[in-house]
Amino acid sequence: MEEQKELLKSLNKKSTVNDIQEYIKKVITLRGFTNQRVQDKMLLLLEETGELAKAIRKTLPEATIDYSKIENYNNIEEEIADVFIVLVSICNELNINLYDVFINKEKNNVERKWRINGKL
Ligand SMILES: [Mg+2]
């Protein structure tokens, strides 16, 4: 626990994606999750994504929600962080540098023409 707290102190607002990816690699090891296979992490990502969907849905006035359980639903910010942690963990498992793949994908995306409300 102390080791994780010390590790967390290494991050700050100026930390890069690479810093965060490295942090998650280390913290996953400290928490003993190194045996998780990529398919285990993928299921976890779907679970966390579902929790995020639930957290968003509970804020919608038109959503049908079991209000007796409303306190059990986490908030959007926590679930976004969970999704991000698991996603980065998948990158680590597959030896994918998140910054590199993000930049490469965005280089493609900026060349695309997006149709919004029927207009290019
Ligand atoms: Mg969660």
Domain map of the chain by residue range? 41-99
Using an 8 Å Cβ cutoff, are 88 and 19 in contact?
A: no
CA of 49 from ligand 1 middle (Å) equals 8
Q: Is the pLDDT of residue 48 over 80?
A: yes
Q: State the amino acid at position 1 in one-letter form.
A: M
CA of 61 from ligand 1 middle (Å) equals 22
CA of 2 from ligand 1 middle (Å) equals 23
CA of 48 from ligand 1 middle (Å) equals 5
Using an 8 Å Cβ cutoff, are 73 and 55 in contact?
A: yes
Q: Is the pLDDT of residue 18 over 80?
A: yes
Collect residues with CB below 5 Å from ion ligand 1: 48, 51, 82
pLDDT at 41: 97
Both structure tokens of 78: 């926590």
Q: State the amino acid at position 69 in one-letter form.
A: K
Contacts of 86 (CB under 8 A, 6+ apart): 41, 44, 45, 48
Contacts of 24 (CB under 8 A, 6+ apart): 85, 88, 89, 92
Helices (H), 31-114: 38-57, 76-93, 98-109
Q: Is the pLDDT of residue 50 over 80?
A: yes
Output the average pLDDT for the chain: 92
What is the mean pLDDT of the segment spanning 39-50? 97
CA of 74 from ligand 1 middle (Å) equals 7
pLDDT at 63: 78
Q: Is the whole model's pTM more than 0.85, yes or no?
A: yes
What is the mean pLDDT of the segment spanning 13-19? 98
Residue (of 31, 48, 28) closest to 91 by Cα position: 28
Contacts of 91 (CB under 8 A, 6+ apart): 21, 97, 98, 101
**Model pLDDT for residues 71-118, shown as the tens digit of each residue:** 777 899 999 999 999 999 999 999 999 999 999 999 999 999 888 888
